[in-house]
Structure 1
Amino acid sequence: MLAKTVSILKWCALFIIAAQLSACGEAPAPQAPMLPSVIVNTATTKEIQSKSVIVGRTRASEDVTIKSQIQGQLLKRAFIEGDDVKAGDLLFEIDPANYISKLAQQKAVLKQALASRDVAVMNWKRGRKLLPDGMISAQDMDELTSRKLTTAAGVVQAEAAVQGAELQLSYTQVYAPISGRISNAKVSIGDIITPNSEMANLVQLQPMWVNFKVAEKKLISAQQQFSQAAKRKVEISDIVISLRLPNGTMFNETGYIDFINNKVDAATGTLPIRASFKNEAKLMLPGLFVTLIIESPIKEQALLIPQAAVQEDQQGRFVMVLNEQDEVEKRIVKLGERFGINWRVLSGLEDGERIVVDGLQKIRPGIKVKAVEQELVPFQDSQSAPANNDVN
């Protein structure tokens, strides 16, 4: 019985081995290799307006340091520090007593000079009548004429002294030369003020200027662009300038360029330029760092590609292009400025060509890929500004 059982087990083992050998002899069906999947975008020509983003600094259109022109004790401060004042408003009053006294003295001197002149004129007239009859000599007449001229000059001198004294007296009251915002007072009531003592600072906030600088490379490009614009009757005043405040919000006014310097700074290779904003709400103050967004008035056609498609190696910037057979080609491209998330293509690519924007790490030139068209989602740039930056 045991022998029969062993025999059955042997036959089972032989059957299993035979089945395995039969299975090993059958070759599996060949499978096609999986093509790497990439996302592609089509290079498209669009209408653009060049923009530049430049950092600038605000400056008051008028910045006046209020100084004393005389010496005396400060009696009064007539403004609230940090308040807006109008041109002609009284700011300070200096003790006028000494200057009133000097004016009175000069007026008395003037009266004496007038009296001397009147007497000299009368004597001169009398001499003219006596001279033809020989009752006075020519020498005496010359002396009378000299006296008349000298006393007349004395009157002019005395009048000038009176005017000077009146001017000094007027300096005891200090008025605002312009409308603007006044600083804190640099002097206190009771102080002895001396000539050229700084008393306060006054800045004009309307309009507000923004100073910035353009690099010489950008300057040449802008000049070439405007030389073409001149044929289209485009003026520099047509340039629209928006402004981003330090907190990232956009200023609610647009400005314009009102000054361009006449030479490039040799030390920095930049050209100083100034923009002007009305600043009606007086939101901007002098000394702020702000961002200017300068939009060209010229519209032109440009070939744009996504920034994600651009790579760079020792040969320069390049993109991966798919031909009609979905095969990958490496293409060296020359790029211009950026517009949001897109690059402007100057050369190396044609309108309508497909470029790889995602899956670049899986491909190389010459291989075939599975292309999936990119689904474009509208891009909202909250800053409303391009990416190309001109740093001062």
Structure 2
Amino acid sequence: MAGSVSNIKLWVLILSAAVISGCGDAPAPQQAVLPSVIVNTAHKEMITPKSEFVGRTRASEDVVIKPQIQGQLLKRSYVEGDDISAGDLLFEIDPSTYEAELAQHQAVLKQAKASRDVAVMNWERGRRLLPDGMISAQDMDELTSRKLTTAAGVVQAEAAVEAAKLQLSYTKVFAPISGRVSQSEVSLGDIITPQTEMANIVQLQPMWVNFQIAEKALITAQQQFSKAKEKEIKIEDLVMRLRLPNGTMFDEVGHIDFIGNRVDAATGTLPVRATFKNANSLMLPGLFVTLVVESPITENALLIPQAAVQEDQQGRFVMVVNEQDEVQKRVVELGERFGVEWRVLSGLEDGDRIVVEGLQKIRPGIKVNPVEQEVVPFKEDEKS
């Protein structure tokens, strides 16, 4: 019995020693792993400044066809929706009334010429008889008056004939400009009056694009243009490109041909107009388009990826990793976009490391493990 107790005590001592030994050899706790983030370096690059404006296309000429006389419509001579040329016949109005009026005035003209010829012969006869005293001076005055009156009657009758011919010519309605004609607003047999809108023609070449510039952008543009004048750059040198409603770029370059002389007090904008040749008549009036205005001057600008930009109540900001690999929040002022990059006006410097991936894992003040983003160079022969 005494031996059993001794064995138990011995095992207790052995187990106690093992526990104490195990506690003494426990490994030290591991250090926390720093979150990894992808960073991109803010860099300077030569860029061409540009601005975008929403505009609307407008026909350079937009004519409503109205007749100048009244009558019954006899014929329509064009295909609705076709491109037509100036001088093409569009409509014909019943000419019978105006032909009768012309014939009447022509008869009056013949009568007036006959009266004038008689008055001229009488005047010639009187002129020969006056020196011999065969007629009195008063009679000669009456002959002269008659000659002048009948001559004026001929002029009046000729004018009436020309007016009648003009009215008759109005029975045929011709296109005043070249362009695309609308559908007819009248039907054959309708009684047409000078107030009747018969059709519409829009001139598609060139095409105008009207847009508005906000007063803030206007002042900035004027300041930049004042500097550009020193380099002999004119308003005509601005490159005007057009993004169509389907997102594709129009294949022509336009130019500004009108700038308003007053800022609209209600909207705070200035009206501006650009002109495009529209050689293929691709653009039609009334389209909403995006006008891309490119400066002829290149600038050295600081650029960062759009993916790095966030926004809160204070405005736009980015997360910057400093030399100690600590995260800092920087409020930035941004300019225009260039592809997938944004121009930085203030808040960053060339060489700053900007977090572009892993933003959800970080906050200002913590340390991170920054990994530089790999930029794959673009190759023209690569296909998307």
Identity %: 75
Q: List runs of 5+ in structure 1 lacking aligned partners.
A: 381-392
Structure 1 residue 355: Cα displacement? 2.6
Match of 2:75 in 1: 76
Please state how far the C-alpha of 1:379 moved relative to its aligned partner. Answer: 7.6
- 1:267-278 counterparts in 2 under 5 A? 267-278=266-277
Distance 1:5 1:106, change over 3 A: farther
Aligned partner of 1:92 in structure 2 is 91
Q: Quick one: structure 1 residues 287 and 6, their matched pair in 2 at CA, closer, same or farther if it must change by over 3 Å?
A: farther
After TM superposition, give the deviation of residue 6 of structure 1 in Å: 8.4
What is the Cα deviation at residue 109 of structure 1?
0.6
Aligned pairs for 1:1-392 (under 5 A) are: 12=11, 15-313=14-312, 315-377=314-376
Residue 312 of structure 1 and its aligned partner are, at CA, apart by 4.3
Q: Which deviations, in whole Å up to 9, do the C-alpha atoms of 1:61-111 show, x marking residues without a partner?
A: 221111111122222111111112222111111111111111000001111
In the aligned structure 1, how far is the partner of 2:278 from the partner of 2:125? 72
* Paired amino acid for 1:35: L
Contact kept in structure 1, 2:90 and 2:174, CA below 8 Å: yes
Q: Distance in 2 between matches of 1:46 and 1:141?
A: 99
Pair 1:58–1:173, CA change in 2 (3 A) = same
Cα offset, 1:51, TM superposition: 1.6
User: Displacement, 1:46?
Assistant: 0.7
Query: Cα RMSD over matched residues?
Result: 2.6
User: Is contact 2:99-2:168 (8 Å) kept?
Assistant: yes
Report how many aligned residue pairs link the two structures.
379
Structure 2: 5+ residue stretches without partners: 380-384
Post-superposition shift, 1:7? 7.3
TM-score (norm 2): 0.89
Whether the 8 Å contact between 2:123 and 2:140 is mirrored in structure 1 is: yes
Matched AA of 1:339: F
Distance between the aligned counterparts of 1:45 and 1:279, measured in 2? 37
TM-score (norm 1): 0.87
Contact 2:51/2:336 (8 A) holds in 1: no
Q: Report the equivalent of 2:382.
A: none
1:317-375: CA deviation from partner (whole Å, max 9, x where unpaired): 44333333333344443332232332222233222222333334444444433221112
Per mean C-alpha deviation after superposition, the further-off stretch among 191-200 and 356-365 is 356-365
Aligned-residue offset at 1:239: 1.9
SS at match of 2:296: strand
Query: Counterpart of 2:275 in structure 1: which amino acid?
Result: S
* Distance change (3 Å), C-alpha of 1:365 and 1:193: closer
Q: Distance in 1 between matches of 2:331 and 2:364?
A: 12
**Offset from partner CA, 1:180-219 (integer Å, 9 cap, x none):** 2121111122222222321111122222222111111111
SS in 1 for 2:166: helix
Alpha-carbon deviation of 1:142? 3.0
SS at match of 1:297: coil
CA gap of 1:95–1:24, structure 2 versus 1, over 3 A, is: same
| 1:139–1:189 CA distance, 2 compared to 1 (3 A) | same
Q: Distance in 2 between matches of 1:313 and 1:89?
A: 63
CA deviations over 1:206-243 (Å, ceiling 9, x no partner): 22222111111111111111111112222222222222
Which one-letter code corresponds to 1:82 in the other structure? G
Find the aligned partners of 2:363 and 2:378 in 1 and give their Cα distance.
30
2:342 and 2:188 mapped to 1: Cα distance?
Answer: 64
Partner secondary structure for residue 162 of structure 2: helix
